[in-house]
Amino acid sequence: MEKRIYNEQTGISYTLQGDYYLPDLALPEQEDKTIGLWGQRHLKYIKQHRKVLYINLLTSGKLNGYLADLDKQAEDMFFRLVKQMAEREGVTEKLKADHQMEWIARMNNIRNRVTEIVNNDIIYN
Question: Global pTM?
Answer: 0.77
pLDDT given at position 61:
87
Pick from 19-28, 56-65, 87-96: least confident: 19-28
- What is the spatial distance between Cα 12 and Cα 26, in angstroms, rounded to a whole number? 11
In this prediction, residue 118 has a pLDDT band, given cuts at 50, 70 and 90, of very high
| For residue 125, pLDDT beyond 90 | no
Tell me which DSSP letter residue 121 carries: I
**H or E stretch covering 17:** strand 12-17
| For residue 28, pLDDT beyond 70 | no
